[in-house]
């Protein structure tokens, strides 16, 4: 029996949702998508996930319409959230808020989410206290909070997140994806 698949005996929307996003790693992959990660090797570096597992999860997510895959002639490919994938934002924010509230060392939040329009920090339900709305993920900015451990990870994705970063926009990790002549480094 698959791990988080086939809660066959349950006629319940929660069970159906969990069949897709309830497997180990899946929500962290989706979190990274919101952060702007889109390339196979970036997921790999940022998550410390086995390649085969990542490959299988991405395939399943594409298959079920949570992600779509853009492939380029260079051999590169991008995994991007679909509308359905973006609709997972409230769940992800809920997990973050709950984890921060009940299971974090007491040094303040490690990530701060704010509304791009007014720079107000979101409340525990993901709503902007100033604008009185729940901003869509695309209008959210993430930045390190006081509880963040300064150099906990050393991958390119984490470095890019040291500065405030708008959700769903591509991270400028190392080099800005190779253009014909821009490749002079080693």
Partner DNA sequence: GAAGATAGGTCTTGTCAATGAACCTGTCAT
Partner DNA sequence: ATGACAGGTTCATTGACAAGACCTATCTTC
- By beta-carbon proximity to a second copy, the closer residue of 64 and 76 is 64
Cα 130 to Cα 114: distance, rounded to the nearest angstrom: 11
110: Cα within 13 Å, side-chain hemisphere: 16
- By beta-carbon proximity to DNA, the closer residue of 52 and 146 is 52
Burial class (CB in 10 A: 0-12, 13-18, 19+), 54: middle
Q: Are 161 and 144 a contacting pair, CB within 8 Å?
A: yes
Element (H, E) at 79: strand 77-81
Within positions 125 to 154, which residues make up the interface with a second copy, using CB under 8 A?
Answer: 125, 134, 148-149, 152-153
Q: At closest approach, how far in Å is the CB of 45 from a second copy?
A: 11
The entry of a second copy, DNA, none that residue 183 binds, CB within 5 to 8 Å by partner kind? DNA
The entry of DNA, a second copy, none that residue 138 binds, CB within 5 to 8 Å by partner kind? none
Residue 98, CA distances (Å) to 92, 103, 125, 164, 179 in order: 10, 8, 10, 22, 42
Binding of residue 101 to a second copy (CB under 8 A): yes
The entry of DNA, a second copy, none that residue 133 binds, CB within 5 to 8 Å by partner kind? none
Binding site for a second copy (CB under 8 A): 3-4, 7, 9-22, 24, 27-28, 31, 47-48, 64-65, 84, 87-88, 90-92, 94-104, 109-111, 125, 134, 148-149, 152-153
């Amino acid at each position: 029996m698959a791990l988080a698949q086939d809660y066959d005996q349950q006629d319940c929307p929660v069970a159906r949702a969990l069949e897709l996003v309830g497997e180990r790693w899946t929500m962290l992959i989706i979190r990274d998508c919101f952060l702007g990660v889109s390339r196979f090797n970036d997921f790999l570096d940022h998550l410390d996930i086995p390649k085969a597992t990542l490959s299988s999860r991405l395939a399943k997510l594409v298959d079920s319409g949570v992600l779509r895959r853009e492939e380029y002639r260079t051999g590169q490919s991008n995994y991007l959230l679909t509308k359905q994938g973006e609709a997972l934002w409230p769940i992800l924010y809920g997990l973050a808020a709950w984890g921060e509230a009940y299971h974090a060392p007491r040094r303040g939040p490690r990530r701060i989410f704010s509304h791009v329009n007014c720079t107000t920090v979101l409340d525990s339900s993901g709503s902007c206290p100033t604008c009185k709305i729940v901003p869509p993920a695309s209008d959210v900015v993430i930045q390190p909070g006081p509880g963040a451990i300064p150099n906990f990870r050393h991958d390119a994705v984490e470095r890019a997140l040291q500065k405030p970063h708008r959700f769903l926009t591509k991270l400028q990790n190392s080099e800005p994806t190779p253009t014909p002549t821009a490749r002079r480094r080693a």
